[in-house]
């Protein structure tokens, strides 16, 4: 039986990431400030290595415009003693129903086991945590953020939980997704600056059902300054569903999104071909959209579809295979 990773009820007091207060009258919002002219950028060097072996050189004009330019990678990503990065896996199965109104997420352990195997094969050191309270979740996020990631080429975080638009659930409350991702922004986690930070979130983002639609078919030496990057750069977020909609999970086989994510990564590994994470998620999105349909036996939700949603500020191609 397919189930939703959504919310049963949600009160404003249960969310830790409240909405920003409106700008008082008579004041100027930062977004309304007068724009300034952009400065021309001068040549400078960039970090191209990882860890103590960092090398610095110029990023050429050709590289700047190269759509296939990738992030630097560790020499042997499948070497357990030299992992390519940390994969933080947070699996929320059980909830305090009195505080959250959420029910047990049967099938999520299948997802967690699948993710752990997949990312270990990809060369990541998996840090797995289960059924965290909000306090423990934030402590863990801050602890991983404060670690030295200099020797790694990337970071991955997988969240398996209930959710609603903009939030995911701990066992006793909620955390704003932007706040969660914000722990690993370049200004808060400087050893991950300039490296891809990938988030895969299996959780509902609303209460709408996607009923789908039926298609009708017929038979040089120039260099540029890149030593300073926006703090929001190099972040990749793959959500199991589009904003406002349910995300589906089978109580025996696991969630649609995580099933296909692991299958696609495994297939890429077995093929011996290197594909960047954005290309892999395009395949995941296609398979989830075309191969799955909910089986609930309820008229309002039976036969529903699901569309994976991706947001990216990556400045290069990021490879996990």
Mean pLDDT of 71-79: 74
Extract long-range pairs of 57-63: CB within 8 Å, 24+ residues apart.
Answer: 58/223, 59/223, 59/224, 59/226, 60/220, 60/221, 60/222, 60/223, 61/220, 61/221, 61/222, 61/223, 61/224, 62/220
Q: How far is CA 134 from CA 14, 17, 213, in A?
A: 11, 12, 39
CB 304 within 8 A of CB 297: no
Burial of 318 (0-12, 13-18, 19+ CB in 10 A): buried
Q: State yes or no: pLDDT of 161 exceeds 90.
A: yes
Rg of the chain over all Cα atoms, to the nearest angstrom: 21
CA gap 190, 294 in Å, rounded: 42
Q: Among 88, 92, 118, which Cα is nearest to 106's? A: 92
Mean pLDDT of 288-304: 93
Could you tell me the pLDDT band of residue 321, with boundaries at 50, 70 and 90?
Answer: confident
Q: State yes or no: pLDDT of 85 exceeds 90.
A: yes
DSSP string, 62-129: HHHT-TT-B----S-TT-TTS-SEEEEEEE-----HHHH-PPP-TTHHHHHHHHHHHHHHTTEEEEEE
Q: What is the pTM of this model?
A: 0.82
Mean pLDDT of 230-252: 95
Within 13 Å and on the Cβ side, how many CA atoms surround 212? 15
CA gap 112, 130 in Å, rounded: 9
% of the chain exceeding 90 in pLDDT: 65
Could you tell me the pLDDT band of residue 56, with boundaries at 50, 70 and 90?
Answer: very low
CA gap 32, 296 in Å, rounded: 48
Which pLDDT score, from 0 to 100, does residue 64 have?
81
pLDDT tens, 186-222? 999 999 999 999 999 999 999 988 887 766 544 433 4
CA gap 137, 193 in Å, rounded: 23
**4-13, 90-99, 201-210: range with lowest mean pLDDT:** 4-13
Could you tell me the pLDDT band of residue 137, with boundaries at 50, 70 and 90?
Answer: very high
Sequence ranges of the domains in the chain: 2-7+43-212+220-312
Beta bridge partners of 245: 208
Residues with Cβ within 8 Å of residue 212, at least 6 apart in sequence: 293, 303, 304, 305
Mean pLDDT of 232-238: 96
- Determine the 3-state secondary structure of 154 from DSSP: strand
Task: Report the catalytic residues.
Answer: 162, 204
Mean pLDDT of 139-164: 97
Sheet holding 254-255, edge to edge: 2-4, 248-250, 254-255
Q: How far is CA 219 from CA 85, 216, in A?
A: 48, 10
Q: State yes or no: pLDDT of 184 exceeds 60.
A: yes
Report CA 137 to chain centroid distance, whole Å.
16
Q: 108-121 and 256-271 are packed helices; what angle lies between their axes, rounded to 10 degrees?
A: 20
Higher pLDDT, 215 or 251: 251
Within 13 Å and on the Cβ side, how many CA atoms surround 314? 25
Q: State yes or no: pLDDT of 33 exceeds 60.
A: no
Q: 277-291 and 256-271 are packed helices; what angle lies between their axes, rounded to 10 degrees?
A: 130
CB 254 within 8 A of CB 111: yes
Per CATH, which fold does 2-7+43-212+220-312 belong to?
Answer: Rossmann fold (3.40.50)
**19-33, 72-86, 248-262: range with lowest mean pLDDT:** 19-33
Average pLDDT score over the chain: 83
Which pLDDT score, from 0 to 100, does residue 213 have?
75
Mean pLDDT of 278-299: 95
- Determine the 3-state secondary structure of 272 from DSSP: coil
Which pLDDT score, from 0 to 100, does residue 169 have?
98
């Amino acid at each position: 039986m397919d189930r939703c990773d959504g919310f049963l009820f949600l009160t404003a007091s249960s969310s830790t990431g409240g909405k920003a207060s409106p700008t008082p009258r008579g004041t100027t919002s930062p977004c309304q400030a007068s724009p300034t002219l952009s400065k021309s950028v001068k040549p400078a060097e960039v970090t191209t290595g990882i860890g103590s072996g960092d090398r610095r050189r110029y990023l050429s004009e050709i590289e700047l415009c190269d759509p296939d330019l990738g992030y630097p990678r560790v020499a042997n990503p499948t070497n357990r003693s030299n992992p390519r990065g940390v994969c933080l896996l947070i699996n929320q199965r059980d909830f305090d129903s009195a505080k959250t109104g959420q029910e047990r997420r049967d099938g999520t352990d299948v997802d967690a086991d699948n993710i752990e195997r997949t990312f270990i094969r990809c060369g990541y050191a998996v840090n797995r945590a289960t059924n965290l309270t909000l306090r423990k979740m934030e402590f863990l996020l801050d602890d991983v953020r404060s670690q030295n990631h200099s020797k790694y080429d990337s970071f991955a975080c997988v969240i398996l939980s209930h959710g609603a638009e903009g939030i995911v659930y701990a066992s006793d409350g909620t955390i704003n997704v932007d706040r969660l991702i914000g722990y690993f922004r370049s200004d808060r986690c400087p050893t991950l600056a300039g490296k891809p930070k990938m988030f895969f979130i299996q959780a509902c983002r609303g209460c709408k059902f996607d009923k789908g639609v039926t298609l009708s078919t017929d038979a040089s030496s120039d260099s540029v300054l890149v030593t300073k990057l926006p703090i929001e750069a190099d972040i990749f977020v793959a959500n199991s569903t589009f904003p406002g909609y349910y995300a589906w999970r089978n109580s025996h086989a696991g969630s649609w999104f995580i099933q296909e994510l692991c299958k696609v990564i495994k297939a890429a590994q077995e093929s011996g071909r290197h594909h960047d994470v954005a290309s892999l998620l395009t395949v995941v999105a296609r398979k989830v959209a075309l191969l799955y349909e909910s089986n609930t036996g309820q008229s309002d939700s039976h036969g529903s579809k699901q569309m994976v949603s991706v947001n990216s500020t990556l400045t290069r191609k990021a490879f996990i295979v």
